[in-house]
Homo-oligomer: A and B are copies of this chain.
Amino acid sequence: MKHRSTSEFCCAHAPMALGLAALSHPARIEILRHLSGLDASCCKDVVGHLRLAQSTVSQHLKVLVEAGLLRMRPERQSSRYEVDVEALKALSDVLAELADACAAARTRSDAASEGHLNG
């Protein structure tokens, strides 16, 4: 997840890669889904929902917070975790842009080869 790659594209795509990495685990996807249903929730609640050790869940929550996809209020007794809907939407949009760019490029090249080869 942490890379010290070689070129400028690394810096350019690093935020997107970090966000997607945070979502590249079934447990973390499920955490987002679970937390979206409720208003805000604590770690213990997530532990009850998933079948993972408390320390493991705490780690997953930390990953999501560091990726900016969750916000947390550290109320020492029972911290509240909440989905950052804007950040999630932003990440989704970036991926959608990539998909659209690829689709547009293909459409363009299809049109070109039709124009050149006439079918």
Chain A residues near B (Cβ < 8 Å)? 1, 3, 5-7, 9-14, 16-18, 20-21, 23-27, 29-30, 32-33, 35-37, 39, 50-52, 83, 85, 88-89, 91-92, 95-96, 98-99, 101-103, 105-106, 109
Contact = CB atoms under 8 A, between A and B. Distances in A.
A84 to B, nearest CB: 9
Interface of A (DSSP majority class): helix
A29 B92 contact: no
Contacts of A29: 9, 13, 16-17, 98
A52 B105 contact: no
Nearest to A50: B7
Contacts of A30: 7, 9-10, 12-13
A68 to B, nearest CB: 13
Contacts of A7: 30, 50-51
Given A16-B29, A27-B5, A98 B92 contact: yes
List of 8 A-B pairs having minimum Cβ-Cβ separation, nearest first: A21-B24, A36-B102, A13-B26, A6-B51, A92-B99, A9-B30, A13-B29, A36-B105
A37 B105 contact: yes
